[in-house]
Amino acid sequence: MSVEIKPIEDRKIWNVFLEDNPTHSFLQSWNWADFNASMGHKVFRLGIYEESVLAGVCLVLKIEARRGSFLFVPHGPILNNFKLETLISYLKALAEKERCSFIRISPILEKTPATEDLFRKLGFRKAPIHMHAELLWLLDISRSEEEILKGMRKTTRYSINRAAADGVTIEKSIDPSDLVKFNKLYEATVTRQHFVPFSPDYIKKEFSAFSPDRISIFFAKYQGEVVSSAIIVYENHEAFYHHGASSQKFQKVTPTHLLQWEIIRDAKARGCKFYNFWGIAPDNRPKHPMAGLSLFKKGFGGFLEELMPAQDLIISPKYWLNFLVEKIRKIRRRL
């Protein structure tokens, strides 16, 4: 069988292929490529053709850092059959041409002995850090609201009802000017929780790339003040909780519980089948920086999806400098 890999320049061709392949996230979307291009990354939208028929797509980003450049495939590639050999050969040549020291793939594949063996046989090794969440918490929202509520932790249901009874209100916006309110709350959250934030420019450009129909901001208000907020991305009948922020004020009225519930209801009305809470901490890491947030997310019910860890293919010895830097960073962040 003849296999050809060539760039895709038609947005419609890309989107139609993804629509026919249910296993993908917004990280392989045309919009995500546009966003990364706006951030200064070189973007490659590749089509994998078998006998001249499109059989796969692969969004590749060139990430340039002081420690060296690398090619990155986020939540991809998306293939009709997972035969990687020809694509990997193409990416090796591309990496050498672009003077990259390694290729990193974060596949949207379940972590199993078979998938681990697949990448090992192709010469990959586990990356020292993850690029995107690899332990995902998902909620099936194709069920009735009553069934979803029934599957929640009792205290979560109580917190939703309490917030509504105490006068917390929820607002939805697709207006980019409302990012000012989100960023103000986000900065306060970063100061309080000491995590590495996305810049206002990053969030603004992401919002622009997915606007107007694939992204929304939600706000929880209490006594006229914004006390919790979330940015939701939509892709493939799924709503992704991609950014969140909250205030320490008025936590006793549990505004974030009601916020999440109304986001779920909105996603359900939109026709989404799943609500993706994004990343959670491992169960065996009670001191993980995300342990508290993970407990909150699990309170809504749902299930774990464990993806393959990010995989690295070494192109040059310069890779080991990057490996050392990332290993140290992981230890410092207690991840």
Residue 103 phi, psi (nearest 5): -115, 130
Report d(CA 260, CA 249) in Å as an integer. 18
**For position 329, what pLDDT does the model report?**
80
CATH of 135-306, one of 3.90.740.10, 3.40.50.720, 3.40.630.30, 3.40.50.450: 3.40.630.30
The radius of gyration of the chain's CA atoms, rounded to the nearest angstrom, is: 21
User: What pLDDT tens digit does each residue of the chain (335 aa) get?
Assistant: 789 999 999 999 999 999 998 889 999 999 999 999 999 999 999 999 999 999 999 999 999 987 889 999 999 999 987 689 999 999 999 999 999 999 999 999 999 999 999 999 999 999 999 999 999 999 999 999 999 999 999 999 999 999 999 999 999 999 999 999 999 999 999 888 778 889 999 999 999 999 999 999 999 999 999 999 999 999 999 999 999 999 999 989 999 999 999 999 999 999 999 999 999 998 888 888 888 899 999 999 999 999 999 999 999 999 998 888 888 887 776 66
Return the SS3 of 63.
strand
Residue 224 phi, psi (nearest 5): 80, 5
**For position 81, what pLDDT does the model report?**
79
Residue ranges of domains in the chain: 3-132+307-332, 135-306
Residue 245 phi, psi (nearest 5): -155, 150
Helix axes 154-165, 255-270, angle to 10 degrees: 100
Domain 3-132+307-332 sits in CATH at 3.40.630.30
**For position 82, what pLDDT does the model report?**
67
Domain 3-132+307-332 and domain 135-306, same fold? Reply is yes
Label the pairing between strands 53-65 and 78-79. antiparallel
Label the pairing between strands 311-314 and 303-306. unpaired
The pTM of this model reads: 0.94
